[in-house]
Amino acid sequence: MKKKAGIYIHIPFCKRKCFYCHFATIPFDSQLVNEYLNSVKNELRMKSNSGYVIDSIYVGGGSPSLLEEAHYFSLMESISKYYQMASNPEISIECNPEDISNEKLKIFKNAGFNRLSIGTQSFIEEDLKYLQRGHSVNQSLKAVSIALEHLFSNLNVDFIIGLPTQNEKSLDLNYSHVERFNLPHVSCYLLENVLPAHSSEECQHKLYNFTRKRLGAFNHYEVSNFCKSGFECRHNLKYWKNQEYIGIGLSASGFQDHKDYKNDDDFTDYLKKTRQNILPVKEINSINPVSRKIVMGLRRLKGLPISSFHSYSKELAFLSDENLLIKVGNNIAVNPEKILLLNEILTYFV
Ligand SMILES: C[S@@+](CC[C@H](N)C(=O)[O-])C[C@H]1O[C@@H](n2cnc3c(N)ncnc32)[C@H](O)[C@@H]1O
Ligand code: SF4
């Protein structure tokens, strides 16, 4: 019997590098895009596996919305050439708001994308200025609005929370746009990797807890993700449910046959290896499967079955006494009030 799996494809090109961004990116260059996509297609071929049925594809970045029509079509063509597709796959693409136009949306539809994730970050001009974004609030609002007109009903917007320019009132305004558009999915990421910390931990907790309350009509299904019923991101759920996914492209990660791997993050090395038909894999790890299941599964607010903790009974007892882990039906989950301590909690299971 074939296994269901997802494919993540990393498109590293961006018009400019945002100071806060820790993803693998390189400056946009149309010549390099063609070379890179040839490498990606080569990698798709090298990793082809007849034991899989692909039911999710996630094209992330970087800024995949910068590509041209022919690029999207040839990527999709390669995937269906080398992999068996499920009958109704979820096919997502990450978009920068300034790249979205009526024409682009038609291209996305025709190429087969059925889920968009738009990097709006905030609908407040002051926040965008702080983040030095390349788009205005109006551009973001228009992007969301025309995406809905083009019937991309499976739509996510990204917010970054914990900015020094933010407070509960401005977040409230952000979320009122989510309500007005009746959006089915919102990702709210706490600002990470910006040193020195731009806003205190206490402030971050406050804004995060406000978000949880304000988005009470949504299912808070993962630390940073909120959705209306039936709109969980199928691809991202694979990460947290310990399911298999193939990672393609610069710095991409994958999980196949009980092994985690990470691709090269040096662009030259990546091109060189894939041109020579060598897998561009930088490291492979076999993580204890029980530990991996817990570490990934505790990111979900519903947690995971109590039986998953059989080899960690002492840790479970201690963390439950500390009120960090709680029982939710037959599952064990992180106490939602303590979710910002997740990374510390996870250290007990690695
Ligand atoms: C891989 S990025 C691609 C998004 C797209 N290029 C854009 O900028 O609109 C996906 C999301 O990660 C989030 N992100 C990036 N850097 C972050 C950081 N330092 N802290 C928190 N979230 C971050 C942003 O919300 C962003 O939309
Ligand atoms: S545009 Fe997006 S992916 Fe590119 S540097 Fe900025 S946040 Fe990172």
For residues 82 and 223, state if they share a domain.
yes
How many domains, in total, are found in the chain? 2
Ligand nearest to the CA of 120: 1
The rounded Å distance from CA 212 to ligand 1 centre is 20
For residues 186 and 50, state if they share a domain.
yes
In a domain, 267, yes or no: no
Of 240, 257, 285, the domain-final residue: 240
b/e for 97-116, b at 16 or more Cβ within 10 A? bbbbeeebbebbeebbbbbb
Ligand nearest to the CA of 13: 2
The per-residue pLDDT of the chain, averaged, comes to 96
In a domain, 34, yes or no: yes
The pick from 92, 121, 155, 158 for probing ligand 1's pocket by mutation, whose C-beta has the most ligand atoms within 8 angstroms, reads: 158
C-alpha–C-alpha distance, residues 318 and 306, integer Å: 15
In a domain, 254, yes or no: no
Query: Which pLDDT score is estimated for 1?
Result: 85
For residues 223 and 107, state if they share a domain.
yes
For residues 223 and 313, state if they share a domain.
no
In a domain, 216, yes or no: yes
For residues 235 and 312, state if they share a domain.
no
Q: Are strands 3-11 and 245-248 parallel, antiparallel or unpaired?
A: parallel
pLDDT tops 80 at residue 195: no
Query: Which pLDDT score is estimated for 196?
Result: 56
| Sign of the alpha-carbon dihedral angle for 251, 66, 84, 300 | positive
Residue-wise pLDDT for 109-152, tens only, equals 999 999 999 999 999 999 999 999 999 999 999 999 999 999 99
pLDDT tops 80 at residue 194: no
Does any ligand 1 atom lie closer than 6 A to the CB of residue 193? yes
CATH number at residue 153: 3.80.30.20
In a domain, 257, yes or no: no
The rounded Å distance from CA 162 to ligand 1 centre is 13
- Give the ligand 2 atom nearest the CA of 20: 7
For residues 171 and 49, state if they share a domain.
yes
For residues 15 and 138, state if they share a domain.
yes
Query: Which pLDDT score is estimated for 320?
Result: 98
Q: Please indicate whether residue 49 or residue 246 has the higher confidence score (pLDDT).
A: 246
Ligand nearest to the CA of 62: 2
Of 240, 255, 284, the domain-final residue: 240
Which residue has the CA at smallest separation from atom 2 of ligand 2? 62
In a domain, 309, yes or no: yes
Report the run of H or E that residue 11 belongs to, with start and end.
strand 3-11
For residues 54 and 176, state if they share a domain.
yes
For residues 108 and 233, state if they share a domain.
yes
Q: Which tokens go with 267? A: 């662009």
Does any ligand 2 atom lie closer than 6 A to the CB of residue 199? no
For residues 311 and 189, state if they share a domain.
no
Give the residue numbers spanning the domain of 323.
Answer: 303-349
pLDDT tops 60 at residue 197: no
What integer is the mean pLDDT of 262-266?
A: 98
What integer is the mean pLDDT of 24-49?
A: 97
Locus of tokens 């490291």: 283
The rounded Å distance from CA 14 to ligand 2 centre is 6
The pick from 11, 17, 159 for probing ligand 2's pocket by mutation, whose C-beta has the most ligand atoms within 8 angstroms, reads: 17
Query: Which pLDDT score is estimated for 277?
Result: 97
For residues 210 and 342, state if they share a domain.
no
For residues 223 and 335, state if they share a domain.
no
In a domain, 289, yes or no: no
What integer is the mean pLDDT of 274-298?
A: 97
Of 219, 240, 261, the domain-final residue: 240
